[in-house]
């Protein structure tokens, strides 16, 4: 039996897809078979029934008022075995969950966006665990972000005098502004373009997404489209960048890579460190 993984946020769609893929063992050739799905998940207070992940296995909910007692019991049951956590919950509970993981000694992958990220990272650094915290788990999109980060750090102010437009579209259930879009705005700021994250245009209306933006109908319930337009002062130069993701598979695969990375760090005895998906890409 391998490392136990508790996927929190069930029956949310990202959490469900991560849990299902871990349970399936489809990535065994890459080492993911060493992960074993915990049959419990931190949920909201509204979740009372068991959650089906696959045909024959229910995951039991652990509501907020039960978590201290239930996690203590799970740690006794799995004594001597590492328990990793994956968080795909909601922005308003990000920091509370991170504090819980730190107090309970549960290394985690934080896939949920929002919350106070600086406070989250500070809490991990003041703890005895390690974590992977990233606003975007898609490795290819993260690689693109790394390119922009390099450009911003190497050529600060290169786009002074330019204006910026940023749009992002996600499924209606996504409550917060895209963390990826926020990160990209920071890079453009360093490149000399003034722009506030509050000015990001968010789209959550399926009618607009399908008929005006062109999001495929079958992906209205799960997509991440981003567009950035830079215009020069005299509007004689215009640059367009976009990255569109349909479905959740790429995020799920990135989450599993983050878990594998996290497992190595735990086995190396590391504590009090926060890693990003760029670290996961580098494999350092």
Catalytic residue list: 170, 174
Please tell me the distance from the alpha carbon of residue 101 to that of residue 6, in angstroms, as a whole number: 11
Handedness of CA 178, 179, 184, 187 (dihedral sign): positive
DSSP string, the chain: --EEEEEESTTSHHHHHHHHHHHHTTTGGGTGGGEEE-SEEE--TT--S-EESSSS-EEEEE-TTTHHHHHHHHHHHTTTS-EEEEE---GGGHHHHHHHHHHHT--EEE----S-HHHHHHHHHTSS-EEEE-S---HHHHHHHHHHHHHHHHSTTTTTT-EEEEEEEE-TT--S--HHHHHHHHHHHHTT----GGGPEEE--HHHIIIII---GGGTTSEEEEEEEEE-TTSS-EEEEEEEEESSHHHHHHHHHHHHHHHHHHHTT--SEEE-HHHHHHT-
Residues 68-80 as b or e (16 or more Cβ within 10 Å = b): eeebeebeeebee
Handedness of CA 98, 104, 108, 112 (dihedral sign): negative
Handedness of CA 149, 151, 154, 158 (dihedral sign): negative
């Amino acid at each position: 039996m391998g490392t136990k993984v508790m996927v929190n946020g069930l029956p949310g769609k990202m959490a469900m897809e991560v849990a299902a893929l871990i349970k399936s063992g489809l990535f065994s050739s890459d080492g993911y078979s060493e992960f074993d799905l915990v049959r419990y998940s931190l949920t909201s207070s509204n979740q009372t029934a068991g959650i089906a992940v696959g045909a024959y296995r229910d995951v039991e909910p652990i509501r907020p008022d039960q978590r201290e007692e239930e996690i203590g019991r799970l740690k006794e049951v799995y004594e001597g075995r590492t328990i990793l956590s994956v968080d795909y919950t909601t922005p308003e509970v990000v920091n509370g969950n991170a504090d819980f993981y730190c107090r309970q000694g549960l290394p985690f992958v934080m896939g949920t966006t929002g919350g106070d990220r600086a406070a989250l990272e500070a809490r991990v650094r003041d703890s005895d665990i390690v974590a992977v915290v990233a606003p975007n788990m898609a490795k290819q999109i993260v690689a693109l972000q790394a390119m922009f980060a390099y450009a911003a750090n190497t050529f600060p102010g290169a786009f002074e005098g330019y204006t910026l437009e940023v749009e992002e579209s996600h499924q209606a259930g996504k409550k917060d502004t895209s963390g990826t879009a926020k990160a990209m705005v920071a890079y453009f700021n360093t490149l000399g373009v003034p722009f506030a994250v509050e000015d990001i245009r968010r789209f959550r209306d399926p009618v607009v997404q399908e008929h005006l933006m062109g999001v495929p109908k079958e992906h209205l319930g799960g997509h991440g489209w981003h567009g950035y337009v830079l215009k020069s002062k005299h509007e004689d130069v215009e640059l367009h960048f976009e990255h569109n993701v349909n479905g959740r598979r790429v995020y799920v695969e990135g989450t599993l890579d983050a878990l594998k990375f996290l497992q190595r760090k735990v086995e190396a005895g590391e504590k009090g460190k926060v890693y990003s998906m760029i670290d996961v890409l580098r494999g350092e």
